[in-house]
Amino acid sequence: DAKTTQPPSMDCAEGRAANLPCNHSTISGNEYVYWYRQIHSQGPQYIIHGLKNNETNEMASLIITEDRKSSTLILPHATLRDTAVYYCIVTNQGGKLIFGQGTELSVKP
Partner 1 sequence: GAVVSQHPSRVICKSGTSVKIECRSLDFQATTMFWYRQFPKQSLMLMATSNEGSKATYEQGVEKDKFLINHASLTLSTLTVTSAHPEDSSFYICSARTSGRSGANVLTFGAGSRLTVL
Burial environment of residue 84 by CB neighbours within 10 A (0 to 12, 13 to 18, 19 or more): buried
The footprint of partner 1 (CB under 8 A) covers: 32, 34, 36, 38, 41-46, 49, 51, 87, 89, 91, 93-102
User: Measured from the CB atom, is 94 or 109 closer to partner 1?
Assistant: 94
Whole-angstrom distance, CA of residue 16 vs CA of residue 21: 16
User: Measured from the CB atom, is 17 or 97 closer to partner 1?
Assistant: 97
The nearest distance, CB 38 to partner 1, in angstroms, is: 8
Name the residue type at position 12. Answer: C
Whole-angstrom distance, CA of residue 59 vs CA of residue 108: 19
The nearest distance, CB 39 to partner 1, in angstroms, is: 11
